[in-house]
Amino acid sequence: MNQQKKVLLGVSGGIAAYKACALTSQLVQRGYDVRVIMTEGATQFVSPLTFQALSRNPVFTDAFDEKNPEKIAHIDLADWADFVLLAPATAHLLGRVANGLADDMLTTTLLATTAPVYVAPAMNVHMYDHPAVKANLKTLDGYGYRFIEPGAGYLACGYVGKGRLEEPERIIEVIEQNEAVDQPLKGKNVLVTAGPTVEVIDAVRYFTNHSSGKMGYALAEVAKQLGANVTLVSGPVDLDEIVGVEMVHVTSAKEMYDAVTTRFEHQDFVVKSAAVADYRPKDTQTNKMKKKDGNLSIEMERTDDILKTLGEMKQHQYLVGFAAETDHILEYGKSKLERKNLDAIAVNDISEDKHGFKSDTNAVHVLTKKGLEQSIPLKTKHEIAQDLWSIFTEELLGESK
């Protein structure tokens, strides 16, 4: 897979630098040629000699230490690398790179390279959530950098949360997946909807459903990895935003309808995986309704059918719907495919254990306008998303991954 690929590993000054040692070792064992650049802060945590022994190559720490007079080191390294990996990438490093600073060996080399750059952040959970860090990540995404999200767990500072450097095995897995895959969606515009909608009754009460948004977020993330320009229209969920994806947060079915229909014209793919309310209270109260004796009746009215509207508006777009059913799975799926003028529909049986809402796994039946019928067995939602995009892109673009 790696074919002696050349990896330039940038290590910055955080306690997670110790994991970069294991990362270096595993890369070398897999046959990669690894060269390491350390920031001054990184040398306070790990000795350059450690990385030299693990990589079997010289380690670079000083932009002014030119080891070979025939070459300018940072230009030579920038041209040499097949890809660059920043692990760990501290908040300080992200800020310097995002702002184009070149004040040490690592940042100077980053400005000079045209190779793909992978970023594996590591920092305190509150630092990772700071608006400045988020802005820097967004800037780097605009430069084309690719991100390996930090894990959640116990941090060196004593906090428990997101910010821990991803494990070396996972970092390598993500890179190899990205380096191996082509990008059939490059330049395509993809819109995905995810999560539930919330329909207000009064100041404290509302109607909603069990959707967690996990399937839609997985679809958006995979589309991004395949090169698409992705917009994710999301109802209220407890999930992290996806770096590099345009996030549009909505609450009600009406807000989701407006967000999707106004953007539909410019999309190539629209995948509507959100669980949108079919009904909403006809009248809502701005104050809290007080409890009274007897039963309560609330008159409900239909919400706008987003998928049906998109089917009527459709011109060149490839339109995908989702259906969560408890019985007559294929019958209902085929009916919805035809009635709403869809190109494809993914139907899942939510009566089955580990399928559908809130679960990390799913199994779906895929039906397409061209007559394809395919069952995807129980897998993680990320794997399901990969399989679905393989089907969709092959149908519309004639490409098979």
Find out whether 357 is annotated in a ligand binding site: no
Of the residues 157, 201, 378, 397, which is catalytic?
157
Find out whether 64 is annotated in a ligand binding site: no
**What are 124's two structure tokens?**
């305190």
- Residue 232 to residues 60, 66, 226, 299, 319: CA-CA distances in angstroms? 41, 47, 15, 32, 15
Give the number of other Cβ atoms within 10 Å of residue 383's Cβ: 16
Strand order in the sheet with 344-349: 246-249, 229-234, 189-194, 269-272, 318-325, 344-349, 361-368, 373-380
Closest by alpha carbon to 85, among 162, 159, 165, 160? 165
**What are 350's two structure tokens?**
């939510």
Find out whether 254 is annotated in a ligand binding site: no
Find out whether 305 is annotated in a ligand binding site: no
- Residue 40 to residues 8, 22, 63, 106, 166: CA-CA distances in angstroms? 17, 20, 11, 10, 22
Question: Residue 364 forms beta bridges with which residues?
Answer: 376
DSSP state of 368: E
Find out whether 278 is annotated in a ligand binding site: yes
DSSP per-residue letters across 159-221: -EEEEEPPPHHHHHHHHHHHHHS--TTTT-EEEEEESB--EESSSS-EE-----SHHHHHHHH
Residue 161 to residue 153: CA distance in whole angstroms: 5
3 state SS of 364: strand
Catalytic-residue membership of 157: yes
Known binding site: residues?
278, 288, 322, 336, 340
Catalytic residues: 157
Known binding site for CTP: residues?
278, 288, 322, 336, 340
